Structure 1
Amino acid sequence: MEGECECSREFFLFILAGLVEIGGGYLIWLWLREGVSFCYGIMGSLILVLYGIIPTLQDFPYFGRVYAAYGGVFIILAVFWGWAIDKKIPDFYDGLGALISPIGVSVMLWGPRT
Structure 2
Amino acid sequence: MESLTAFLRPLAVYLGAAAGEIAGCFAFWAVLRLGKSAWWLVPGLLALAAFAYLLTRIEADFAGRAFAAYGGVYIASSLGWLWAVEGRMPDRWDVVGAAICLAGAGVILLGPRSG
Aligned to 1:35: 35
**1-side partners of 2:2 and 2:97: how far apart?**
32
CA RMSD of aligned residues (A): 1.1
Cα deviation for residue 112 of structure 1 reads 1.6
Runs of 5+ unmatched residues, structure 2: none
Aligned to 1:93: 93
Q: For structure 1, which segment, 21-30 or 89-98, has the greater mean C-alpha deviation from structure 2 after superposition?
A: 89-98
The aligned length equals: 114
Runs of 5+ unmatched residues, structure 1: none
Indicate whether 1:53 and 2:53 are aligned.
Answer: yes
**1-side partners of 2:90 and 2:4: how far apart?**
32
Query: What's the TM-score, normalizing by structure 1?
Result: 0.93
Matching residue's letter, 1:12: A
Structure 1 stretches of at least 4 aligned residues deviating more than 4 Å after TM superposition: none
Query: What's the TM-score, normalizing by structure 2?
Result: 0.92
Cα deviation for residue 66 of structure 1 reads 0.5
Cα deviation for residue 99 of structure 1 reads 1.5
Aligned to 1:14: 14
Cα deviation for residue 2 of structure 1 reads 2.2
Cα deviation for residue 43 of structure 1 reads 1.8
Cα deviation for residue 76 of structure 1 reads 0.4
